[in-house]
Amino acid sequence: MKVTVWNENRHEKENPKVLENYPGGIHGYLANMLACDDIEVRTATLDQEECGLTKEIVEDTDVMLWWGHGAHEQVPDEIVDRVYEAVMRGMGLIVLHSAHHSKIFKKLCGTTCHLKWRGGARERIWTVKPNHPIAAGVDETFVLDPEEMYGEPFDIPNPDELIFMGWFNGGEVFRSGCTFTRGNGKIFYFQPGHEINTAFQNENVQKIIKNAVRWACPIKKNIELSCPHFQPLEKTE
């Protein structure tokens, strides 16, 4: 399986705390976490040529992870379209934390993807679909302290499946882990992962991301998209 971890990689350059939590940046940390015998991982970042997402790299990716925050608008539409087409052709996409506002997630959802937010909260996550492959081996409930509060209403289309619910100590709730299908591609949105916290070090969070990558991996990728005029296979008169 070939995985590409995309990160905006801007907070890493401005706030030493991010690199302290995540040596190698969020992209490097996640790549290191995911790499194993049957998963080949590469990273790509905003400041690389073509955002690190050349046609060749995108076509050679089974599952892409996306972390972005303050620079969503700096990703050229042409790159967003390239990733979008890859999802339509079967590539899996894992959308992390503040990437709820990324151009690619908004394009796939067709909604604003707005939510409520506040720094420095305590979150309790509940596994609400324990028999889902993304929840395999994950505790029924676990705490992230601190984690940024993300609250409902979260303006997304109805997810195919809701797997994790978050509750925050300000009383807010959030659909923290949910799946969508677009074209031939599987998409998982997962809420934890504020850059100055340590959610990606959490054992349950790591398990969820690893499970999600395997769940989103297509049986077949780069399925050609077409809309042909079609002759009948049977006699119709």
Q: Closest approach of Cβ 60 to Zn ion, in Å?
A: 30
- Distance separating alpha carbons of residues 206 and 165, to the nearest angstrom: 17
Q: Closer CB to Zn ion, residue 97 or residue 186?
A: 97
Asked if residue 225 lies in contact with residue 88, where contact means CB atoms within 8 angstroms, the answer is yes
Q: Using DSSP, state whether 158 is helix, strand or coil.
A: coil
Tell me if 148 contacts Zn ion by CB under 5 A.
Answer: yes
Long-range contact set of residues 118-122: C-beta below 8 Å, sequence gap at least 24: 118/148, 118/149, 118/151, 118/170, 119/146, 119/148, 119/149, 119/194, 120/146, 120/148, 121/146, 121/147, 121/148, 121/149, 121/168, 121/169, 121/170, 121/172, 122/146, 122/147, 122/168, 122/169
Q: Closer CB to Zn ion, residue 44 or residue 96?
A: 96
Tell me if 175 contacts Zn ion by CB under 5 A.
Answer: no
Q: Which residue's beta carbon is nearest to the bound Zn ion? A: 194
Any idea what DSSP says for residue 203? H
Tell me if 194 contacts Zn ion by CB under 5 A.
Answer: yes
Q: Closer CB to Zn ion, residue 148 or residue 172?
A: 148
- Distance separating alpha carbons of residues 50 and 39, to the nearest angstrom: 24
Part in contact with Zn ion (CB under 5 A); list of ranges 42-50, 107-115, 162-170, 186-194:
186-194
Task: Determine the size of the site formed for Zn ion (CB under 5 A).
Answer: 3
Q: Closer CB to Zn ion, residue 62 or residue 195?
A: 195
Q: Closer CB to Zn ion, residue 10 or residue 221?
A: 10
- Tell me the β-bridge partners of 5: 43, 65
Q: Closer CB to Zn ion, residue 98 or residue 184?
A: 98
- 73-112 footprint of Zn ion as x/- string (CB under 5 A): -------------------------x--------------
Q: Closest approach of Cβ 148 to Zn ion, in Å?
A: 4
Residues near Zn ion (CB under 5 A): 98, 148, 194
